[in-house]
Amino acid sequence: MASNWSVCGVCDYRHITKPSVICCSECDEGLCEECKEHHGISKGTRSHGIVSIAEYQKLPKNVLQLARSCDKHNEKYVLLCKKHDCLCCKKCVVASHMECRELIDIDDITRNIKSSDAFADIDQTLSEIAENIKRLRINREDNLASIGKKSREIEKEVLETRARINLHLDKLQNAVLKDLKRREEKESNKIRRLLKSLKDKENEITEHQANIANIKQYASELQIFLALKHIEKDVSVVEKFIVKSDGANQIGLSWKINPSLQGMISAIQKFGDVMVTVDLCNIPILKHKDRQAQPMVAVVPMTIDSLASTLLQSLDSELSFVTGCTLLSDQRMVLSCAVEGIIKIFKSDGSLDNYVRSCPVFDVAYIGDDSVAVTSGFKNDCLQIDVINLETRKVKKH
């Protein structure tokens, strides 16, 4: 488009400023009301497509900025080179495309482009891609939400597991502390009973110590003798109590941790592992069935003179005169010979696969179901069509 398509390009060239009412994409400029009329009746421009300025402004900016002329030679594009897939001006053809055989007139390309299969295909493709993006976006949003939900579930499971472990350890702790208290109480009671016995013996000995002085001073010899015998007996009992008693053994308390628990402390270095799982995408992606690339060019009719044949393969049928030929669905070839009254089946590599003798025979045609129709021609004034099964090599129908 002209640098300022809001003003009339023709008038601007004459240094007159008039607002445009239409624009011509082929002339690449805007036109005022007066120039519009001249443009519409002039022989060179009457066939140009025009749109109003308001409608033209609806086009995307990237479309408006597309170059309509060659940047290198500053001339209008006139041809498309299919080999290099590029637009060419006349000078481009002379400079770079003299040896290119497929140069197509750009007018042939753009004619009826809006109703072409390629335009419809692009429109369909854009709709499908938009739908695919929408589906993918929704899927990713759902995935984002599911990750957050799963994270909260895992956090809850970790805390619940920790609580169960704590509860179990609390039970084990309470059991060992209860056992500790019980054993402490038991051994303490033993020592207390011994202390009471020792106190009683101590009081008894103290009493004897206090009495022996009075006995010595005031008792007769007989009384002293009898008293000493009594004291000796009591002392002997106390000595035996002291010697035989195990109460003097030193009592202590200790504990030994469960080896499994000790091993758990050293062996377990982490609570668990958080893993990221990746599953295959199950989003149904829309795609044109059997879509093939639609070239954005018009189909140029080809004449028989422009067709060129290329030999792909040859085979020796060993038939004296081939009168019919047909291809099977599995790429095998069937040849018929009216002179020899035979049809031969060849593999795709040219080797003989099988043969059927059928008299009379002229032409052959594949009709499906591994069968061919064989015509008799006019031999012996006999008009006949036989259907032959190639697998059994027998006539199915006359």
Cα distance between residue 35 and residue 231, in whole Å: 155
The predicted structure's pLDDT at residue 292: 46
Which residue, among 386, 387, 388, has the nearest Cα to 356 in the 3D structure? Answer: 388
Residue 235, classed as helix, strand or coil, is: helix
Residue 238 pLDDT grade (very low, low, confident, very high; cuts 50, 70, 90): confident
DSSP code for 113: G
Residue 398 pLDDT grade (very low, low, confident, very high; cuts 50, 70, 90): low
- Contact criterion met (CB below 8 Å) for 32 and 13: no
DSSP code for 50: E
The predicted structure's pLDDT at residue 296: 44
Report the half-sphere exposure of 101 (CA within 13 A, side-chain side). 1
Asked which of 245-249, 314-318, 349-353 is least confident by mean pLDDT, the reply is 245-249
Cα distance between residue 118 and residue 293, in whole Å: 8
Mean pLDDT throughout 327-353?
87
Take residue 221 and report the two structure tokens written for it: 């010899």
Asked which of 53-62, 144-153, 357-366 is least confident by mean pLDDT, the reply is 53-62
- Angle formed by the axes of helices 221-244 and 117-218, to 10°? 160
If 0-12 CB within 10 Å is exposed, 13-18 middle and 19+ buried, where does residue 157 land?
A: exposed
The pTM of the whole model exceeds 0.85 = no
**Domains of the chain by start residue, with CATH:** 1-66 (3.30.160), 71-111 (no CATH), 119-246+257-267 (no CATH), 318-397 (2.40.10)
If 0-12 CB within 10 Å is exposed, 13-18 middle and 19+ buried, where does residue 211 land?
A: middle
Percentage of the chain beyond pLDDT 70 is: 88
Cα distance between residue 118 and residue 341, in whole Å: 51
pLDDT digits (tens, 9 = 90+) for 158-210: 999 999 999 999 999 999 999 999 999 999 998 898 889 889 888 988 888 88
Is residue 258 within a helix (H) or strand (E), and if so which, with residue range?
none
